[in-house]
Amino acid sequence: MKILNEIVGIKNKKIYQDTEMFNFCLDSILLAKFYVPKKYEKNVCDFGTNNAIIPIIISERFSNDVKIFGIEIQEQAVQSAIENIEMNQLSKTITIINQDIKEYIKDKNNFFDVIYSNPPYFKINEGSKLNKKSEHLIAARHEKFITLEEIIYSAKVGLKNGGKFLLVHLAERIDEIIFLLRKHNFTVKKIQFVHFKKNKKAERVLIEAVNDGNDGAEIIMPLIIHEDNGEYTLEAKQILGD
């Protein structure tokens, strides 16, 4: 069943979500707003675009002549993404491609200025709170079609020298993420941990890495999402536009 939702913090943009697919969450919005685009960045990609939430948000942040490509392996998600692009009148800016990221990137060597990824968080056979009512949901949350290293390697292939790779992931996998980024000659430039509440452990991490970049990382202030009473913090409201 499809449900029409407003996009938090984005005026005049809506998105259809399929209840059988993985619905966009706060992580995608935080990732989309984590990086401040540069005017010269014209070719942008979203790995595992699902229903195109990240392309829709970032289309308002880049220059008017940007070209954004959303890559998605699951055909049902692709149909939702295309419908959302058309509904928001963004067909001239955003292109959705139904293909395995590993195959798509083979002929896109050094093509992209920026690549985003909100990938599956869990390795195969690892537990998650997700129930298994839908194979589409399992694939969106688990590394069924692509692993974290394959995503990072694909970003390496697709990015220009100095290109930006933007990632949101589980904070508990930070050691592995940094190891794999360094293995594939990325330099971590910015890290921000995300806590759902103050005095709780970090649940997510936002990372900006540069392909063949110079050393020098910045660990910025952690982002706290909720006050003790459940309301958004001032920082969260500023990001989400609430």
Please give the average per-residue pLDDT across 156-175, as a whole number.
98
Report DSSP letters for 11-79, one per residue. TT-EEEEETTSPPP-HHHHHHHHHS---TT--EEEEET-TTTHHHHHHTTTS-TT-EEEEEES-HHHHH
Amino acid code (one letter) for 214 = N
Inter-helix orientation angle 174-183/148-158, to 10°: 40
Fold designation for 2-240: Rossmann fold (3.40.50)
Percent of the chain with pLDDT over 90: 74
Higher pLDDT pick, 131 / 88:
88
pLDDT-derived band at 240, boundaries 50, 70, 90: confident
Q: Pick the residue with more confidence: 104 or 7?
A: 104
- Across 53-75, average pLDDT: 96
CB 230 within 8 A of CB 220: no
Nearest to 66 by CA among 76, 57, 74, 75: 57
Mean of pLDDT values over 186-208: 96
pLDDT of residue 145: 87
DSSP conformation letters of 88-155: TT-TTTEEEEES-HHHHGGG-TT-EEEEEE----B-TT---S--SS-HHHHHHHB-SS--HHHHHHHH
Per-residue model confidence (pLDDT) at position 183: 98
Question: In the predicted model, what is the mean pLDDT of residues 8-36?
Answer: 77
What pLDDT is recorded for position 17?
A: 73
3-state secondary structure of 216: coil
Least confident of 90-94, 208-212, 235-239: 235-239
Domain boundaries of the chain, sorted by first residue: 2-240
3-class state of residue 218 by DSSP: strand
Which of 155, 153, 65, 73 has the alpha carbon at shortest distance from 111?
Answer: 155
